[in-house]
Amino acid sequence: MIPALAVSRSVIRDLVRLAAFEVPGVLRVGWAGPAWRRLAAGRPIAVRVRGGVVEARVVVIARPGQPLGPLAGDVRSAVAAAVERLLGLAIGEVTVRIDGSGG
């Protein structure tokens, strides 16, 4: 019998961050703007696990000139694939917010 896998939310958050960052066109994972705004906005990645299904929200900054619609779709797909493949957990909703473009 295979024991159940228990994964902490911090591990899932790290995996979501890495999956989003590896998408071509993502400059960084996080909020745009000055430091005080980033502090006030909270974490750029939020995960919730309900009944073995992961829901994630990730905020990214796009590279200049990147088409934003396809970028959001690519980030969504990368996050979903990473959670399913590496953790073996079902993925529910993946919300992608693009908070800025450029450096």
The domain ranges of the chain are 9-101
Q: How far is CA 88 from CA 21, 54, 55, 82, in A?
A: 20, 11, 14, 9
CA–CA gap between residue 91 and residue 27 (Å, rounded) = 24
* Amino acid 25: pLDDT: 96
Tokens standing for 89? 């957990």
- The predicted-structure confidence for 52-75, as pLDDT tens digits, reads as follows 899 999 999 999 999 999 999 999
Q: Tell me the average pLDDT of the chain.
A: 92
pLDDT over threshold 80, residue 4:
no
Tokens standing for 60? 């990214």
> Mean pLDDT over residues 76-96, rounded?
95
> Mean pLDDT over residues 17-21, rounded?
97
The C-alpha angle with vertex 82 and arms to 77 and 85, in degrees rounded to 5, equals: 115
* Amino acid 23: pLDDT: 97
What top-level class would CATH report for the domain 9-101?
A: alpha beta
Contact between 79 and 26 (Cβ < 8 Å): no
* Amino acid 103: pLDDT: 64
* Amino acid 6: pLDDT: 78
pLDDT over threshold 80, residue 12:
yes
pLDDT over threshold 60, residue 93:
yes
